[in-house]
């Protein structure tokens, strides 16, 4: 899976946002406000990846969460992206 | 046609197919050595036509049948805006108005009343003048400077000058006149929407970085206003007082 549109990520005063880039931005007016883990997921989805690859990377980065917690958060965020039409399988 | 212009302290060589770009830019001609060149191709003009049709479709209106010569002027400015990011300079859709050596930009989606509001300034605020009525350039350094450009909307209100930018005002229509500070976080979606957004990821990241830098260095305001002269007085009193207080000398 990967993002259906290319997205640029910005960080200002500790707040992270993602904005669609280029011709595809006509399909998505607006921006996503992200926490750090969501920003990590957006960055990973710039290239084709799998749930398992992202889960592994996030588990290594967020050691204070259990693998099940990470899987739950990852599933929820991917479902949101899919609902917004921002994810291709 | 080949000529050179100076925008935001940067020299640009322009090679255009039609003369309209030259006529548009005649207040900005220079003999200086160019920092970069723009040379739009017919494909750029075709792209502007498609973009215009797509935007008209989004707004639910019939697309205007603009001549290629006009579309080329848009293509030239789009190329310039993309290059200007390398000089920490951002194109913003908004009306920049100044009093003496201090300027403010009023920004809002088209049709909200930016031009109406700055006309209220011109008619009621002594010494006010328009730096650019539609698409000024902003150089973001330790301070921010707003520059006039030839691309100034259908009214053509512009002046070939650079003025210290003391604030950005997000304008909304309202029954009463009210102005207050807003934060970068609150205004970010509109802020981004109103700035030039490149078609490539690295350009977009540069533009976003400049927006973040600009928004954290100068005050941001939300103005709700009507079309009466009081709207200009309300805005000016607050903007001027804040500028004095913050030591924008």
- Look up the ipTM and state it: 0.81
Residue given tokens 């973040």 in the structure block: B212
Domain residue extents for chain A: 2-88
Task: Give me the total of CB pairs closer than 8 Å, taking one residue from chain A and one from chain B.
Answer: 48
Task: Give the range among A17-31, B28-42, B53-67, B219-233 with minimum mean pLDDT.
Answer: A17-31
d(CA A61, CA A59): 5
Candidates B90, B188, B214: best to mutate against A (most CBs of A within 10 A) is B188
Query: Which of the 8 DSSP states describes residue B195?
Result: B
Q: How far is the CA of B105 from the CAs of B6, B65, B108, B156, in angstroms? A: 21, 30, 10, 16
How many CA within 13 A on the CB side of residue B215? 27
Q: Where are the alpha helices (DSSP H) in chain B?
A: 20-24, 42-59, 68-84, 114-124, 184-193, 201-217, 229-245
Residues B204, A12: C-beta atoms closer than 8 Å: no
Q: What are the chain B neighbours of A19 within 8 Å (beta carbons)?
A: 192, 197, 204, 208
Residues B209, A23: C-beta atoms closer than 8 Å: no
Determine contact, residues A43/A76, Cβ cutoff 8 Å. no
Tell me the per-residue pLDDT of B44-53, one tens digit each, with 9 for 90 and over: 999 999 988 8
d(CA A38, CA A31): 13
Residues A13, B199: C-beta atoms closer than 8 Å: no
d(CA B176, CA B224): 7
Q: What are the chain B neighbours of A29 within 8 Å (beta carbons)?
A: 193
Tell me the per-residue pLDDT of A51-81, one tens digit each, with 9 for 90 and over: 999 999 999 999 999 999 999 999 999 999 9
Provide mean pLDDT across the span B90-115.
95
Q: Which two tokens stand for residue B52?
A: 């215009």
Tell me the per-residue pLDDT of B135-183, one tens digit each, with 9 for 90 and over: 999 999 999 999 999 999 989 999 999 999 999 999 999 999 999 999 9
Candidates B57, B204, B205: best to mutate against A (most CBs of A within 10 A) is B204
pLDDT band (50, 70, 90) for residue A25: low
Residue given tokens 């007082």 in the structure block: B241
Q: Tell how many helices (H) and how many strands (E) occur in chain B.
A: 7, 12
pLDDT at A34 over 70: yes
Q: How far is the CA of B234 from the CAs of B206, B224, B225, in angstroms? A: 35, 10, 9
What is chain B's Cα-based Rg? 18
| A 26-55 residues inside an 8 A Cβ radius of B | 26, 29-31
Q: How far is the CA of B98 from the CAs of A80, B130, B169, B197, B225, in angstroms? A: 45, 6, 13, 26, 19
For chain B, list the domains and their CATH numbers: 2-87 (no CATH), 89-245 (3.90.228.20)
Q: Is residue B67 exposed (0-12), middle (13-18) or buried (19+ Cβ within 10 Å)?
A: exposed
CA of A31 vs chain B CAs: smallest distance (Å): 6
Provide the 10 A C-beta neighbour count for residue B245.
8
Residue B86: the pLDDT is: 97
């Amino acid at each position: 899976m990967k993002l259906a549109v290319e997205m640029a990520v910005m960080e200002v005063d500790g707040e992270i946002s993602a904005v669609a880039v280029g011709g595809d931005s006509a399909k998505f007016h607006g921006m996503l406000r992200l926490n750090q883990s969501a920003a990590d997921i957006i960055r990973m989805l710039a290239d084709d990846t799998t749930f398992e690859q992202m889960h592994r990377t996030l588990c290594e980065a967020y050691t204070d969460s259990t693998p099940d917690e990470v899987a739950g958060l990852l599933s929820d965020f991917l479902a949101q992206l899919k609902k917004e039409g921002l994810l291709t399988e | 046609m080949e000529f050179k212009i100076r925008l935001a302290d940067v020299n640009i060589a322009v090679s255009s197919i039609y003369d309209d770009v030259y006529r548009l830019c005649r207040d900005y001609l220079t003999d200086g050595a160019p920092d970069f060149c723009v040379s739009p191709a017919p494909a750029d003009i075709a792209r502007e036509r498609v973009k215009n049709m797509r935007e008209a479709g989004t707004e639910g209106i019939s697309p205007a049948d603009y001549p290629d010569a006009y579309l080329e002027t848009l293509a030239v400015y789009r190329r310039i805006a993309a290059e200007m990011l390398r000089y920490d300079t951002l194109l913003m859709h908004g009306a920049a108005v100044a009093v003496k050596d201090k300027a403010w930009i009023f920004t809002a989606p088209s049709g909200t009343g930016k031009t109406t509001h700055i006309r209220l300034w011109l008619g009621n605020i002594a010494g006010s003048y328009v730096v650019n009525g539609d698409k000024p350039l902003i150089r973001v350094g330790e301070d921010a400077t707003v520059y006039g450009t030839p691309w100034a909307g259908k009214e053509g209100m512009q002046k070939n000058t650079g003025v210290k930018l003391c604030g950005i005002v997000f304008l909304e229509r309202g029954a009463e006149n009210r102005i207050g500070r807003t934060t970068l976080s609150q205004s970010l979606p509109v802020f981004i929407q109103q700035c030039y957004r490149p078609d490539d990821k690295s350009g977009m990241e540069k533009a976003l970085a400049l927006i973040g830098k600009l928004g954290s260095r100068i005050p941001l305001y939300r103005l709700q206003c009507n079309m009466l002269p009081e709207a200009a007085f309300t805005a000016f009193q607050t903007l001027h007082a804040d500028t004095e207080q913050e030591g924008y000398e």
